[in-house]
Amino acid sequence: MAELKIREPTSKFIKIRCAKCKNEQIVFGKSTSLVKCLVCGKILTEPTGGKSKIKSRILEVLE
């Protein structure tokens, strides 16, 4: 019997920091909608059809 290989996901969760209020937030790297800061409402990421355009500082890529 052939061994099945499980593919690793190509997308990751990313911890980012808002440039305006310094709030740290975890977002999905391929989000399909705008992600706003939960504290001040500043736009943190924008969808592009693939990976999100990140408009804030990346602190960590979570595995």
| DSSP-assigned letter for residue 47 | -
31 occurs within a structural domain = yes
* Nearest CA among 62, 24, 29 for reference residue 46: 29
pTM over 0.85: no
Residue 8 lies inside a defined structural domain of this protein: no
pLDDT at 1: 61
**What is the extent of the structural domain holding 49?**
13-62
Q: What share of the chain is helix, strand, coil (3-state, %, to 5)?
A: 0, 40, 60
Q: Residue 4: inside a domain, yes or no?
A: no
Hey, what are 38's tokens? 């939960």
**Do residues 16 and 44 make contact, with C-beta atoms less than 8 angstroms apart?**
yes
Tell me which amino acid residue 34 is. L
- 36 located within any domain: yes
Over residues 1-57, the pLDDT tens digits come to 678 888 887 789 999 999 999 999 999 999 899 999 999 999 999 999 888 999 999
* Residue 57 belongs to domain with CATH number: 2.20.25.100
Tally of domains in the chain? 1
Residue 26 three-state SS = strand
